[in-house]
Chains A and B, each alone.
Chain A
Amino acid sequence: MSVDKSTVAKIARLARLNVPQDRLQPVASELNGILDWIAELNEVPTDNVEPLASVTGHALPMRNDMVTDGDCVDTVLANVPEGASGFFVVPKVVE
């Protein structure tokens, strides 16, 4: 499962990271180094093993589905790179 330049370009796109053309091959080499090392896991038999997603062993707590916070537009927008009239501003997405 070797990673090539086009795979790097694809995952960079999925990750919304701009990886320049001249970096695609070096990044592919680095990722292959890591993935080759990780492949060591293939020698572990795991046919009847359940995947472990949480170590706590307890079910997530339930809570009432209700509003607990709000009326704090200024706080929400306090760190905004660009905002206007109580909104986040982004580049135009609809022509």
Chain B
Amino acid sequence: MSDLLDLSAVEARAALDAKSISATELTTAYIAAAEETAALNNYVLLTPDHALAMAAKADARLAKGEAGLLEGVPLGVKDLFCTNGVQTTACSRILDGFTPPYESTVTANLWDAGAVMIGKLNCDEFAMGSANETSAFGPAISPWQGADKTDLVPGGSSGGSASAVAARSALMTTGTDTGGSIRQPAAFCGVVGLKPTYGRCSRWGIVAFASSLDQAGPITRDVADNALMLQAMASHDARDSTSSDVPLQDVVAAVRQGVKGMKIGVPREYVMDGMDGDVVALWQQGQDWLRQAGAELVDVSLPHTKYALPTYYIIAPAEASSNLARYDGVRYGLRVEAGSLDEMYEATRAAGFGEEVQRRILVGTYVLSAGYYDAYYLKAQKVRRLIKQDFDTAFASVDALLTPATPTAAFPVGRKIDDPVVNFLNDVFTVPANLAGLPGLSVPAGLNADGLPLGLQVLGRPYDEASLYRVGGVLEAAASFTATPARRAGGAK
């Protein structure tokens, strides 16, 4: 079985086309892998019957020579994507028992391409968190372990998604990224994660968190798989008014194009107190790799970088407080009965939302309320423009930016932190790209002194995912990241 799990998606597609393996065999191996690694709590719902039915259809299309881009590839779906007839909860009690009667555009695109759904993946409640610890289903656990064998967080909010790819219980997974929720867990778990340009993947059918920042993207084992999955996910969708009709470049070819002649910016503000020394060293190493591959490294300045996090923590909660107003106990999900309509709303929402979600709803309501709107929300929107202008200026002279993905490696599950602001710092290097709508790619590039994965981040111009994959392909080849986590399926030999 483990040799099936060794195949990347690109390799699996070739083997499926060559009929040396079947989609049913591959799917069966991944269902077993998901069961073997169940203790990691990556899946909140396994759908083996559904998966085997989809695999049988994939085998039929393969036999007829009608295979799609991802035909027969076992895939996990973050529980934020609505899946027709399959429970979708955003990992919140307030959506307990919700079964969507429709399919999100992104997942519909993936099934049209022939992918096979293994199940729904754990995440932070409504994608609000950076450690997958706010989930109503309990924390997802990383397959990586520290020297003392403690359980580590996989990052978040797409923690189950990144952990499942690292644990080999899915060949690829969907994630969503509002402030780093694809790139940070990808870095923590040693896998590849892309937040595409805002508008590249349709938001239709994805449970909304902060609509001007949310973007779906692929999490995969390597860069080539990532480009392949993006090609299947991305589309222009009239049902999402912010969806873009700018054509996707040939991202699959870009992975092997190299960086000769590219100008790569190194933003001097991407440093902070408490940053792991190994992260600083890896960032320098990444610059050397790109220079050796023929790129020109350029020092650039993004002067408003330090204001990105506070800006984000006004805009994201404000949008969330508005988006989450829909959970009222009337149309779907949890309802707590009470005497009056208002009491029913208040009791339902207090029982259904977890602590972090309630905190963000309250912050968002406050910054939008009469008397404070100008001081907080409008101010944040103005600073957001300055942050975007920093990037516009930088991209006038460079093709991409190289930064660390996270300030540190993964930390233990249950780490007690009284100050919510400390947790926000996980996203210090990823949040700016969301505020500016830029694509960002996280690539595993090394290990820290404790043997835990560290990632480098590549940022690019809007709609220029190809440049990210060019840089990512070179980083991946230079790093030759072959380390594997202890608690992966088929890992104990």
Contact = CB atoms under 8 A, between A and B. Distances in A.
A3 to B, nearest CB: 7
Interface stretch (B44-52, B60-68, B333-341, B401-409): B333-341
Contacts of B330: 80-81, 88, 90
B411 interface: no
Contact of A51 (B342, B381, B419): B381
A66 interface: no
Contact of B341 (A49, A82, A91): A91
A84 interface: no
Interface in B221-275: 238, 241-242, 244
A16 B385 CA distance: 32
Contact of B420 (A33, A42, A78): A33
A60 B241 contact: yes
Given A52-B382, A80-B332, A81-B332, A17 B358 contact: yes
Interface string A1-16: 1010001100110111
Contacts of A51: 378, 381-382, 384-385
Contacts of A16: 325, 328, 342, 345-346, 349
Q: Size band of the B side of the interface?
A: 35 or more
Interface string B316-330: 000001000100111
Contacts of A35: 363, 366
B366 A31 contact: yes
Interface string A29-48: 01101110110111010100
Contacts of B363: 31, 34-35
- Dominant secondary structure at the A interface: loop
Interface size class of A (residues with CB under 8 A): 35 or more
B33 interface: no
B420 to A, nearest CB: 6
B374 to A, nearest CB: 10
A56 to B, nearest CB: 5
Contacts of A38: 310, 313-314, 376
A18 interface: yes
A42 B378 CA distance: 12
A63 B307 CA distance: 38
Contacts of B313: 34, 37-38
Given A15-B365, A31-B363, A93-B341, A46 B382 contact: yes
Contacts of B419: 33
Contact of B199 (A14, A41, A56): A56
B212 A54 contact: yes
B97 interface: yes
A30 to B, nearest CB: 6
B335 A82 contact: yes
Interface centre among A8, A44, A55, A58 (most CB of B within 10 A): A55
B242 A54 contact: yes
A2 to B, nearest CB: 12
Contact of A78 (B101, B349, B369): B101
A61 interface: yes
Contact of A53 (B212, B334, B344, B353): B212
Contacts of B420: 30, 33-34
A22 interface: no
Contacts of B340: 91, 93
Interface string A65-95: 0000000000100111110000010110100
A40 to B, nearest CB: 5
B311 interface: yes
A61 B375 CA distance: 31
A60 to B, nearest CB: 5
A91 B421 contact: no
A15 B361 contact: yes
A52 B369 contact: no
Contacts of A91: 337-341, 343-344
25 contacts: A7-B366, A11-B362, A11-B366, A12-B362, A14-B369, A16-B346, A17-B353, A19-B358, A31-B362, A34-B420, A37-B421, A38-B314, A38-B376, A41-B307, A41-B379, A44-B307, A49-B385, A49-B386, A52-B388, A54-B242, A55-B462, A56-B244, A88-B331, A90-B344, A91-B337
Q: Which 6 pairs from chain A and chain B are nearest by CB?
A: A55-B437, A51-B381, A79-B332, A81-B335, A52-B385, A18-B350
